[in-house]
């Protein structure tokens, strides 16, 4: 609502000559180290900063994990969570979905567990099943990256956790990936979901997962947050501004609040540019 209001206000002021349209092109102040924002509707670049620099992308990696799973599995397939999946998240201090060994959940539910609370336990379970094995799954991720033209992207695990010689990508490549997955109605629906509840059954506990993306529901329609110390605070987002779909990626921002502030400034600037 705030972005739409900014757009309408500028249009009104420009109509009466009370604002210089050139001011719409003033670069917004963002604190992320690597940034790329496109207007997917117009096919134009709205903002770019070190967009081809190869850096870790933390849990944005899980977007590719979801993309590969969608091409390997049925949503109603059932996956059994192993002790290895649970230990993987616990020993690395990773975000998790609270899964327990022996639980059996559908791929649909596990995708929610990956993309909402950013569960490393869930991503490991899916990778282990649909590699089969994590190493083979990562190979699938890299083949998918190549097929999508992500020339500066290399994955080494399905969750973005730091490791020697770990994942590398660019803000530009990640925007291309975001454009691609938004065409998948299942992923597009999941990444904009604020809350997903799984009722208790004979084969799993009850779960409630909340989306970590604080731009939802009014300021964005997804996609994913990420954080590790090497990567900093990351955000992949999409929003409709003035009838145009904006898709952006922020990498290496300085804090949790900073990444949302950066995204809002970018989207506000886009609204102003469209109105001008």
CATH number at residue 172: 3.40.710.10
pLDDT digits (tens, 9 = 90+) for 216-247: 999 999 999 999 999 999 999 999 999 999 99
pTM, 2 dp: 0.90
The predicted pLDDT at position 166 comes to 81
The predicted pLDDT at position 25 comes to 54
Are 159 and 94 in contact by the 8 Å Cβ rule? The answer is yes
> What is the pLDDT confidence band of residue 2, given thresholds at 50, 70 and 90?
very low
> What is the pLDDT confidence band of residue 203, given thresholds at 50, 70 and 90?
very high
> What is the pLDDT confidence band of residue 5, given thresholds at 50, 70 and 90?
very low
Are 155 and 138 in contact by the 8 Å Cβ rule? The answer is yes
Q: Where are the beta strands (DSSP E) in the chain?
A: 34-39, 44-49, 78-80, 104-106, 195-198, 207-210, 223-228, 232-241, 244-253
For residues 253 and 29, what is the distance between their CA atoms, to the nearest angstrom? Answer: 12
pLDDT digits (tens, 9 = 90+) for 10-42: 444 444 444 444 444 578 999 999 999 999 999
pLDDT digits (tens, 9 = 90+) for 62-106: 999 999 999 999 999 999 999 999 999 999 899 999 999 999 999
The predicted pLDDT at position 201 comes to 98
Nearest to 187 by CA among 223, 160, 152, 155: 223
Nearest to 276 by CA among 18, 1, 2, 43: 18
Q: How many domains does the chain have?
A: 1
> What is the pLDDT confidence band of residue 3, given thresholds at 50, 70 and 90?
very low
Contacts of 128 (CB under 8 A, 6+ apart): 82, 84, 85, 134, 137
Domain that holds residue 240: 2-275
């Amino acid at each position: 609502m705030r972005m739409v209001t900014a757009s309408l206000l500028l249009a009104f002021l420009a109509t009466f000559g009370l604002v210089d349209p050139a001011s719409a092109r003033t670069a917004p102040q963002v604190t992320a180290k690597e940034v790329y924002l496109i207007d997917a509707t117009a096919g134009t670049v709205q903002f770019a900063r070190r967009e081809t620099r190869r850096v870790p992308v933390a849990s944005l990696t899980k977007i590719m994990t979801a993309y590969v799973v969608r091409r390997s599995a049925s949503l109603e397939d059932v996956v059994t969570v192993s002790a290895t999946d649970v230990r993987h998240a616990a020993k690395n201090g990773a975000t998790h979905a609270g899964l327990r060994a022996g639980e059996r959940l559908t791929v649909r539910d596990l995708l929610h567990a990956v993309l909402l609370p950013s569960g490393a336990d869930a991503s490991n379970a899916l990778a282990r099943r649909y590699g089969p094995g994590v190493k083979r799954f990562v190979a699938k991720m890299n083949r998918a990256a190549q097929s999508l033209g992500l020339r500066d992207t290399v994955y080494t695990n399905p969750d973005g956790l730091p490791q020697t010689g770990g994942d590398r990508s660019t803000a530009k490549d990640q925007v291309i990936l975001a454009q691609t997955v938004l065409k998948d109605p299942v992923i597009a629906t999941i990444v904009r979901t604020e809350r997903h509840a799984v009722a208790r059954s004979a084969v799993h506990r009850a779960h409630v997962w909340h989306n970590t993306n604080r731009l939802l529901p009014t300021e964005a329609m997804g996609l994913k947050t990420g954080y590790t110390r090497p990567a900093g605070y990351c955000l992949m987002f999409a929003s409709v501004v003035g009838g145009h779909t904006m898709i952006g990626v922020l990498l290496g921002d300085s804090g949790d609040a900073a990444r949302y502030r950066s995204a809002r400034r970018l989207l506000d600037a886009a609204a102003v540019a469209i109105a001008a």
